[in-house]
Amino acid sequence: MYTVLALLHPMASALGTTPGQATWTATAFGFAYAAGFLLSGSLSDRYGPRAVITAALVAAAASTAAVSAAPNLPTAIALRSLQGLTAATFAPSALTYVVHHIGPRLCPHLHHQRHARRRHHADPRPSRPSSAGARSSGSVPP
């Protein structure tokens, strides 16, 4: 995100603007990067982390190439936003992939415990007999 700061003067002269205005490229990337983190979790849940990682890498490569060919500042800002959005989708999806696919191989006992807890908490049956019959007879439930 901040690597562009060292290139502000050459970028500004190439885009025909001032270095101060060229800082908007870094700001746009930062905002889009933050938004991408919020969106990528649901994308990873819906389409799977592997698909999101693959699409994010392709999109990030394409958007990075497009940024280098931007003819003016507004186009560069829009493409840097797209670059930030695509770059942000990679990290959460990669971490999801590691947790679900690599983690169980490295620590199978932790994976087993986690699934055992899920089964225990997901069990809709009551842990003791219902006291509905006792309430209908007027007595106090145990």
Q: Report residue 109: phi and psi, to 5°.
A: -65, -35
pLDDT of residue 134: 47
The reported pTM is 0.67
Three-state secondary structure of 108-139:
HHHHHHHHHHHHHHHCCCCCCCCCHHHHHCCC
**In the chain, where the domains are located:** 2-120
Amino acid at the residue 67: V
**Alpha-carbon dihedral angle through residues 60, 65, 68, 72, given to the nearest 10 degrees:** -80
Per-residue pLDDT of the chain (142 residues; tens, 9 = 90+): 557 778 888 888 889 999 999 999 999 999 999 999 888 888 888 998 889 989 999 999 999 999 999 999 999 999 999 999 999 988 888 888 887 777 666 666 655 555 555 555 555 555 555 555 445 455 555 5
